[in-house]
Amino acid sequence: MIIAVDGPAASGKGTLASGLARHYGLPHLDTGLLYRAVGRAVSDWEDQPGFEDAAIAAARALDASHLADVTELTSARSGVLASKVAVIGPVRAALFDYQRNFATQPGGAVLDGRDIGTNICPDADVKLFIQADSKARMERRARQLESRGLEVDRYALYHQIEERDARDMANPNGGFYKADDAHLLDTTLLDIEAALRAAIAIVETTMAHKAKL
């Protein structure tokens, strides 16, 4: 079974995807980490002429060893860098096979990101699109960073998330919208447990419905 989980920054999609993976005993790939790793690799080139070429080369050289430093990769700064490399078409193309191979491994997988249901796995068995309002998303991300002992400027974080949303939505090479057959799950008023229960209910209902066809 392939489960695609998409949604904007800090919507809770990563937590839900890893909860679904645990529940169904499936491997999980946070595809945002791939873009974050590429962004980190070219941070010295940010806003300079060689940025695109460096990002394309970094994406082509990417392997699992670049995804190990999760603390560094999940910083707010890495998120901004990720969204800057994610608009480059050849970067997305270079990362496609890694994601597709992960998704099609025997037994299936759970992947979360922005374009899983639209570009990477248009054939996924279940697609979820996770939404939450911007303030709730900022507060969640702030608490996540604070739990790691980091100091958070909430005002700056809110604007960073909005800036990233805007860049992602305008990405000419993305597919950052809800797939027609994706189920919308708004987690603004849900805690993690309630959101996971709702996501599992969607997976169960969808699979039961497909089994009847």
Chain residue at closest Cβ approach to ligand C5P: 32
Distance (Å, whole) CA 77 – CA 83: 10
Instruction: Compute the radius of gyration of the chain from its Cα atoms.
Output: 17
Whose tokens are 């695609």? That residue is: 4
Count each helix (H run) and each strand (E run) in the chain, helices first.
9, 5
Q: Which helix (H) or strand (E) holds 197?
A: helix 192-212
Q: Report if residue 114 touches ligand C5P, rule: CB under 6 A.
A: yes
* Residues in contact with ligand C5P, shown as a per-residue x/- string from 127 to 146 under the rule CB under 6 A: --------------------
Options 26, 82, 142, 182; binder of ligand C5P; rule CB under 6 A: 82
Q: Report if residue 110 touches ligand C5P, rule: CB under 6 A.
A: no
Chain-centroid distance of CA 194 in Å reads 20
Report the SS3 class of residue 79.
helix
Least distance CB 149 / ligand C5P (angstroms):
20
Least distance CB 75 / ligand C5P (angstroms):
11
State yes or no: 84 annotated in a binding site: no
Among 31-39, 58-66, 102-110, 194-202, the segment contacting ligand C5P (CB under 6 A) = 31-39
Site size with ligand C5P, rule: CB under 6 A: 15
Q: Report if residue 83 touches ligand C5P, rule: CB under 6 A.
A: yes
Residue 125 gets which letter from DSSP? Answer: S
Alpha helices in 5-104 (DSSP H): 13-24, 32-41, 51-60, 70-73, 76-85, 89-103
The contact set with ligand C5P (CB under 6 A) reads 9, 31-32, 35-36, 79, 82-83, 86, 113-115, 164, 168, 174
Write out the binding residues for ATP.
Answer: 7-15
